[in-house]
Amino acid sequence: MVDVICDTSFLIHLATKKIKNINSFETEIGQIQFVVPEVVKIELEKLSKNENKKHEATLTLNLINKLQTISISGNYVDESLISYVKDHGGIIATMDIELKNKIKSLGGSIITLYNDRIILDSQKNLTYR
């Protein structure tokens, strides 16, 4: 089982959109398990206090209760994930184009959503719009 570290944007999409291949997604890396960094959980808790983001953040917090939390901390999610990949490598799940490109430039892999499907984004600096 390979851990895929999720950022906030990916988790919000996972919690609020219907993902077509969620139950059948397999990659060339094998079986995956989505995990949530502590810093992402903290960011979602902050967002749940914002009136405009409350609904999405609450749905996402309910989703992550079913996922494993890992100890990646820091002040900012993106910086924490970049630092983690620099030190340990790994796979990051994100919707953030800038973060995708930074992670790929460090040799990390990206899982993202495109047309409501989970995909492994393995091409360098590939962007979806």
Residue ranges per domain, the chain?
Answer: 2-121
* Terminal CA-CA length for the chain: 30
CATH number of 2-121: 3.40.50.1010
pLDDT value for 43: 93
pTM of the shown model: 0.85
| Eight-state DSSP code of residue 3 | E
Percentage of residues of the chain with pLDDT beyond 90: 55
Q: Which of 48, 74, 78, 76 is nearest to 61 (CA)?
A: 48
Q: What is the DSSP letter of 103?
A: H
Sheet containing strand 117-121, edge to edge, reads: 68-70, 32-37, 2-6, 91-93, 109-114, 117-121
Q: List the beta strands (DSSP E) in 27-90.
A: 32-37, 68-70
Unique residue bearing structure tokens 């944007």? 9
Per-residue pLDDT band for 87 (boundaries 50, 70, 90) equals confident
Cβ atoms of 22 and 115 within 8 Å: the answer is: no
Tell me the average pLDDT across 34-54.
94
DSSP state of 17: S
